[in-house]
A = this chain, B = another copy of it.
Amino acid sequence: MSRSFRHFLSLREIPREDLDALCLLALSLKRREAVARLPGRVLGMLFFNPSVRTRASFESAMARLGGASIALAAGRDTWNFEHREGIAMDGATQEHVKELAPVLSRYCDVLGVRKSELVTTSATTAEVSGSWDDLKRDGFLRALARYATVPVINLESNADHPCQGLADRMTLLERCPGPDGPRGVKYVLTWAWHTKSLPMATPNSQLEAAASLGMDVTLLCPEGWELDPEVTAAARASAEAAGGGLRVTHDRDAALAGARFLCAKEWGSTRYYGRFDEERRDKERLREAWRVDGRWMARTAGASFMHCLPVRRGVVVADDVLDSPASIVVDQAENRMWAQMALLASLLGEPG
């Protein structure tokens, strides 16, 4: 497939035609109607944060394509990296992206990086190094892409998780096989309670994924937990351009009525960003009401349940939902691999 994008950093930067082509190729690969091969090609990945699905699905994708993967745990396997321009590196960082990016580009055919301030395994939310307005610029990722001479894939940054978005988009297409596909079908992305303040990257990308399909998109959340207005505005524009629409609501009953897909995700508030203890105290009152359970599902129009995983059972989502036939979370996770195979084949494949 031809493509107009160089890097894969945010769904908001990829033309809809390219997203459509990637999803169609992914579905063909999954059905074994298409074959892609990348023998001898190498994917290099830098993980600043833990990962299960992202790492395993990319490594499996490259292996199935006949290529290889190099996965480095940044700061454990490697040096500490710097991306700020023009500073004297006399502190904790040893290597600048201005060297790192072009050097890895000589060893690898494509690079991936996961760098998020809030993706951790700790029991409390990590301290952050800046304001949301600063961190959402994804300085390290953008610097890596600027200095790399091969394509760069965002494996989750502060602002975006486009591979999750792409897999969700493929899943929605797969589940709407009719002639109109997902266009106009009601998709609800709901906030769910979590003890920590988790990143907005995934819901940002999920919202764009459904919007770019022209779905009837609803973002459901408590007051104060809306996503970044820029993200919501971009998704609204995408939805409308694709024949759909987007609304933000705090009214659960209205949101769930008619929903065919309910995607749950826990995230922190931009309002409280960096003041996570305060956020925790404030949102304690939301704990019971914003756990997704069977009563939520009963109000939908037989919705399929989606979640990016990992999910804290009994906290974010009740077992009765995750263990029900309505849950498609494992299929959704599987599609990470197929979507990424399509992405890798598109980024690295011979023009044909």
Contacts and interface: CB of A to CB of B under 8 A. Distances in A.
Contacts of A68: 59-60, 63, 68
Interface string A44-73: 100100111101110110011011101011
A82 B121 CA distance: 13
B106 A330 contact: yes
A103 B309 contact: yes
B79 A55 contact: no
Interface string A90-127: 11111110111011101110000000000001010000
Given A103-B334, A310-B79, A319-B86, A42 B60 contact: yes
A58 to B, nearest CB: 9
B50 A77 contact: yes
Interface string A308-327: 01111111000100110000
Copies in the complex: 3
A231 B332 CA distance: 42
B60 A311 contact: no
A337 interface: yes
Interface in A29-47: 40, 42, 44, 47
A173 interface: no
A80 interface: yes
A44 B64 CA distance: 13
A89 B309 contact: no
B102 A330 contact: yes
Given A73-B77, A96-B310, 5 more contacts: A60-B68, A60-B70, A90-B195, A103-B309, A106-B330
The 10 closest A-B pairs by CB, nearest first: A88-B314, A95-B310, A63-B68, A106-B334, A89-B312, A60-B107, A103-B333, A59-B70, A102-B330, A56-B107
29 contacts: A40-B66, A42-B60, A44-B56, A44-B60, A50-B78, A50-B79, A51-B78, A52-B79, A52-B95, A52-B103, A53-B103, A55-B72, A55-B77, A59-B70, A59-B107, A60-B107, A75-B121, A82-B313, A89-B313, A89-B315, A90-B315, A92-B123, A95-B310, A98-B313, A98-B322, A99-B329, A103-B330, A106-B334, A106-B337
